[in-house]
Amino acid sequence: MMASATANNNPLDYPLRLCESVAFILHGILGLCEPFTGCLRSAFQDNGAMPTWFWPLAGSILICVAIINFRGNDVVILMNQAYIAAFHMGGVLYHNSLGHHPASGVGPGMFVFLAFAVACMRAPIWMAFGGLMVCYVFAVGLAKVLVKPKAASDAGRSDESARLLRVD
């Protein structure tokens, strides 16, 4: 019998993709609800740094990624992992651009690591690392286009509240 092009015998592959997908479903729902709740922009103290349309678009894409993550085809899964890595590297850059504490990048950074681990299980490590570098370049470009940090006072806050939020 011929081996399937989609066979993966690593016992960690499925659990890692399951962890990714559960988180993406939850984050996708948050993104879809963002225009109505403002919970993400409020929690991240975004001040309008991201376009309003980004959140529901990202939420719907994350839900699609969560579902596609269980396709059997290696190429589809590798492309999915590339998107996961690029999106979450963008998350690290987003937090950095907003001046958040460096530890705030650990959350999205964890998904970059998971995507790299899954890619290493399905492709040679040099290919996974090369793909990771391409994803980083893509994330940097998108972050420069999409993330436009604004001062708290620019977002309609009073000077007093802007002063209270500023960390010197």
pLDDT digits (tens, 9 = 90+) for 54-66: 999 999 999 999 9
Those residues with Cβ within 8 angstroms of residue 62's Cβ, 6 or more apart along the chain or in another chain: 24, 25, 27, 28, 31, 87
Contact 47, 23 (CB under 8 A): no
Smallest CA-to-CA distance from 89 within 54, 138, 162, 56 is with: 138
pLDDT digits (tens, 9 = 90+) for 119-160: 999 999 999 999 999 999 999 999 999 998 876 544 444 444
Alpha carbon distance 163, 34 (integer Å): 26
- pTM recorded for the entire structure: 0.81
Alpha carbon distance 69, 87 (integer Å): 15
CB burial string 146-159: b at 16+ within 10 A, e below? ebeeeebbeeeeee
Confidence of residue 23 (pLDDT cuts 50, 70, 90): very high
